[in-house]
Amino acid sequence: MLSKIMKICLIMIAAVGFSGFFDQLQAHAEQVTFKDVKPGDGYYDEIMFLAKQGIVNGYSDGSFKPNANLTRREAATMVGRALGVDGTPRKTAFADVSAKDYASGYIQSLYEKNFITGRSDGLFHPDDKISRADMAYLITRAFSLQEMSQYLPFYDIVQDSPEYEPINKVTTARITNGFPDGSFKPGEKILRSHFALMVARAINPNFRPPAEAEKVISTGEMIASQVAQYGPSDNYHDVGTIPSGAQVKIYKKVAGWALVSTDTIKGYVKLKYVREPDELLKGKIIVLDPGHGGRDPGAIALDKTEEQYINYNFGVAAQSALQKAGAVVIMTHQRDKDCSPSKDKELQCRVDVAKANHADLFISIHSNWFSSEDAYGMQTHFNDFNDPDYPGVNDHPKESKILANVIQSTVPQAIGMHSRRVVDDNLYVTRMNTVPAVLIELGFLTNPSDLARLEDPATATKFGNALVEALRQYFMSVQ
């Protein structure tokens, strides 16, 4: 019924929702009062403002009837007075509106301006009640609303529906809004009080609720491709697909959904598919030390690949994943570069990077080597004892051990490596460090299966993501 009316004729507009944001403009009529409109009512100031302007009148019994449904006659009168059109009673274009009707002048004036038309039978039907969608048409045309938003958060308003444009315009102008459940209810009949709110807002911007500030509260990355919705539910219509890996801005979170945007799409996606900077990692300073590099290529793999390149590739992947999780990542050196100009001070230079930057953790990344192909798998080293032959002990042995264990229990399975064990020994970069420190041996360059995984870029990506999860567990256990 509603859609048929919309296709045939212009009718009148949609009302105000129940947001409760109103400027308390003190514009009270000196002698106008209504026995059923009291201070404290959500629409009191607006109705008093309209009464003072002569735009609304009450009934003979002194009431306004704020909760009565509005008729087409009443809407035409209220809008006509607000616009200042000729309201002199006169003959109209409609056989069912006589010249004696108090609203005839307003109806005819609005008709001549093409703000309203009749029904398909050529009549106006002045006593018919009008809906929220009907009202959107009248307010949009009568007050020349033009601006539209890309985002319209009502699940019951489809973008290709005839009422989409006028509802978008009155919403963008902050003259109306929807209901708390995310609907607009276009077919619901409008109340006199709600329409009064809309007219007051249309002619006096001081009555409009403040624009909702869309502040970016976080950023994130899509971990799976998702169809974005206009609202926080599958009941809303689609706005487009955000691909996996897309970087998004996050504006709000509602019941497991997040309002996000890319450069081209804005809408709600399920929060579980958005990876955000982790509060446990946010701001943590992580020093990553890709083993070898520069003058020291490290071990040589079965296919003659130098260890330094594999280590650095995994370091870069870990750097990317940790930064997306909110951590501050510092590399001890760049690709093909040394940390120190002196070979004798190379390892101390890497340790000093952590100390100078007040790091929270130091993680050295290496690949293993053995004299035969039999050895395979990943292991993690830390230090908590002082060996007379290798003097020095890590300043945080307890935390280093915890870090080594969470890495060894998390990363090998994630990257498809056999998990060997956690090793407590006296490697220079672990024992001489002033922060919790570990050294990871990713796998064996001398084992064909391990080497194939280490040379697969997908393994490096998995390593980075798994390291993020391991560090989450670490900081959770030591906080």
Average confidence score pLDDT of the chain: 88
Instruction: Assess whether 233 and 336 both reside in one domain.
Output: no
Strand partners, 287: 330, 362
Domain hosting residue 449, numbered range: 285-478
Burial 15-51 (b: 16+ CB within 10 A, else e): bbbeeeebeeeebeeeebebebbeeeebbbbbbbbbb
**More confident position, 151 or 157:** 157
Does any domain span residue 181?
A: yes
Does any domain span residue 411?
A: yes
Domain total for the chain?
Answer: 3
pLDDT band at 216 (very low <50, low <70, confident <90, very high): confident
Q: Is the pLDDT of residue 453 over 80?
A: yes
What is the distance between the alpha carbons of residues 365 and 382, in angstroms, rounded to a whole number? 13
**More confident position, 335 or 233:** 335
Q: Average of pLDDT values for 441-468?
A: 97
Put residue 170 in one of left, alpha, beta given phi > 0 → left and psi -120 to 50 → alpha: alpha
Percent of the chain with pLDDT over 90: 69
Instruction: Assess whether 318 and 452 both reside in one domain.
Output: yes
Q: Average of pLDDT values for 306-318?
A: 97
Last residue of a domain, one of 275, 308, 324: 275
Q: Which range is least confidently modeled, 258-267, 345-354, 376-385?
A: 258-267
**More confident position, 134 or 476:** 134
Q: Average of pLDDT values for 442-468?
A: 97
What is the distance between the alpha carbons of residues 294 and 280, in angstroms, rounded to a whole number? 34
The residue assigned the tokens 């490096």 is: 460
Helices (H), 159-294: 164-172, 192-203
Instruction: Assess whether 363 and 463 both reside in one domain.
Output: yes
pLDDT band at 129 (very low <50, low <70, confident <90, very high): very high
Return the SS3 of 442.
strand
pLDDT band at 203 (very low <50, low <70, confident <90, very high): very high
Last residue of a domain, one of 211, 232, 259: 211
Instruction: Assess whether 354 and 247 both reside in one domain.
Output: no
Strand partners, 258: 253, 269
Q: Which range is least confidently modeled, 19-28, 29-38, 87-96, 106-115?
A: 19-28
Instruction: Assess whether 428 and 300 both reside in one domain.
Output: yes
pLDDT band at 213 (very low <50, low <70, confident <90, very high): low
The DSSP result for 299-363, as a single string, is -B-TTS-BHHHHHHHHHHHHHHHHHHTT-EEEESS-TT--S-SSGGGHHHHHHHHHHHTT-SEEE
Residue 263: give its domain's CATH number. 2.30.30.40
What is the distance between the alpha carbons of residues 6 and 333, in angstroms, rounded to a whole number? 68
pLDDT the model gives residue 99? 95
**More confident position, 74 or 1:** 74
Instruction: Assess whether 145 and 56 both reside in one domain.
Output: yes
Q: Is the pLDDT of residue 340 over 60?
A: yes
pLDDT band at 6 (very low <50, low <70, confident <90, very high): very low
Task: Walk across the sheet containing 226-229 and list its strands.
Answer: 238-242, 226-229, 266-270, 257-261, 247-254, 218-222, 274-275
Q: Average of pLDDT values for 113-124?
A: 91
Instruction: Assess whether 205 and 222 both reside in one domain.
Output: no
Instruction: Assess whether 358 and 455 both reside in one domain.
Output: yes
pLDDT band at 352 (very low <50, low <70, confident <90, very high): very high
Does any domain span residue 280?
A: no
pLDDT the model gives residue 3? 41
Q: Is the pLDDT of residue 198 over 60?
A: yes
What is the distance between the alpha carbons of residues 340 and 346, in angstroms, rounded to a whole number? 5
Q: Average of pLDDT values for 298-311?
A: 97
Instruction: Assess whether 250 and 350 both reside in one domain.
Output: no
Radius of gyration of the chain measured on its C-alpha atoms:
35
Instruction: Assess whether 73 and 191 both reside in one domain.
Output: yes
**More confident position, 172 or 21:** 172
Q: Average of pLDDT values for 414-433?
A: 96
The DSSP result for 158-174, as a single string, is -TTSTTHHHHHHHHHTT
Q: Average of pLDDT values for 420-425?
A: 96
What is the distance between the alpha carbons of residues 152 and 171, in angstroms, rounded to a whole number? 8
Instruction: Assess whether 189 and 60 both reside in one domain.
Output: yes
| pLDDT tens digit sequence for 46-101 | 999 999 989 998 898 999 999 999 999 999 999 999 999 999 999 999 999 999 99
Among 1-10, 163-172, 225-234, 430-439, the range of highest mean pLDDT:
430-439
Q: Is the pLDDT of residue 10 over 50?
A: no
pTM of the model: 0.50
Q: Which range is least confidently modeled, 36-45, 236-245, 445-454?
A: 236-245
Closest CA to 370 of 448, 291, 444, 455: 444
Last residue of a domain, one of 275, 293, 324: 275
pLDDT the model gives residue 118? 87
DSSP structural state of residue 101: S
Does any domain span residue 66?
A: yes
Does any domain span residue 355?
A: yes
Distances (CA, A) of 429 to 383, 393, 434: 9, 10, 10
Q: Average of pLDDT values for 397-416?
A: 97
pLDDT the model gives residue 18? 26
Return the SS3 of 111.
helix
Does any domain span residue 399?
A: yes
Q: Which range is least confidently modeled, 43-52, 94-103, 145-154, 340-349?
A: 145-154
pLDDT the model gives residue 150? 73
Residue 338: give its domain's CATH number. 3.40.630.40
Instruction: Assess whether 317 and 465 both reside in one domain.
Output: yes
| pLDDT tens digit sequence for 361-405 | 999 999 999 999 999 999 999 999 999 999 999 999 999 999 999
